[in-house]
Amino acid sequence: MAIVVTLSNHAKYMMAIGEVDLVDDVLKVILMNTTFVFDKDTHATLAAVTSDQLASGNGYTQNDKTLTTKAVAEDNTGDKATFTCDDPAWTASGGDIGPFGAMIVYDDTTADDTVIACVDFGADYTIVNGTSFTAQDLVINLS
């Protein structure tokens, strides 16, 4: 299945009024359990999705993975802007991490911890003890 990235409507609003700065704000990612289904209308803040986040343990810590080397570029050919960053990764230690099926990107700088987007992996994954999972080539299209 294909990976699907969906922006939250609240993120669009927060970017429009200048409350979210994708490059300068602290953006974090969290892994979501396999029953989580993203709703771009109601999953506006971290508080709205926290109950479906994986529990801390075995190399995964809730609300702890910060995105680095963030950039926004203009794409006139594709009529959009794109957000990119370094690849977030987790290594299982002392047991497995997961299963999980999605990742939430949120802004830890805003007062409400704005959910920027959901990355639905299109499949469920478990990071087996002693192995790693990397969310490679994360791109969020802002169109």
Q: Is the pLDDT of residue 126 over 60?
A: yes
Q: What is the pLDDT of residues 41-100, one digit of tens each?
A: 999 999 999 999 999 999 999 999 999 999 999 999 999 999 999 999 999 999 999 999
By DSSP bridging, strand 80-84 and strand 27-32 are unpaired
Q: The pTM is what?
A: 0.96
